[in-house]
């Protein structure tokens, strides 16, 4: 498989940086869009976004780093295989709770 055939996964990099930056901003006391969060929700949201951002940045690194002879260590392959669906499911869960359930719960 030619690694240059697929190109650089810019969407993973941008999503990772945005999630990581917003998670860090939440830990620093940034304002939330919409109704205010409780302390527990703020911590949970910040931890989830930081974890998602770190997972997506790890996935970006595994897809762009020129490993020796294009051979990746087993741990990198296992983590990349497990983190891809976990990060996607985590973001969907975060979005459903904070974007949908919480929106209708406060009305």
Do residues 17 and 53 touch, judged by C-beta distance below 8 A? yes
Can you give the residue ranges of every domain in the chain?
3-105
Q: Kindly state the tokens that stand for 8.
A: 């650089």
Distance CA 60, CA 69 (A): 19
Neighbours of 11 (CB within 10 A): 10
| Residue-wise pLDDT tens digits, 79-100 | 999 999 999 999 999 999 887 8
Neighbours of 58 (CB within 10 A): 18
pLDDT tens per residue across span 23-76: 998 888 777 666 677 888 888 889 999 999 999 999 998 888 888 777 888 888
Closest CA to 23 of 2, 44, 3: 44
Using pLDDT thresholds of 50, 70 and 90, give the confidence band for residue 1. Answer: very low
């Amino acid at each position: 498989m030619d690694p240059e055939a697929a190109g650089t996964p810019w969407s993973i990099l941008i999503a990772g940086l945005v999630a990581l930056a917003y998670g860090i901003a939440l830990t620093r006391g940034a304002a939330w869009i919409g109704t205010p969060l409780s302390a527990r929700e703020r911590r949970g949201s910040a931890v989830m976004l930081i974890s998602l951002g770190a997972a997506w940045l790890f996935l970006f690194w595994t897809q762009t780093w020129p490993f020796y002879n294009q051979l990746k260590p087993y741990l990198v392959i296992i983590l990349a295989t497990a983190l891809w669906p976990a990060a996607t499911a985590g973001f969907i869960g975060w979005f459903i709770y904070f974007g949908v359930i919480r929106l209708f719960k406060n009305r």
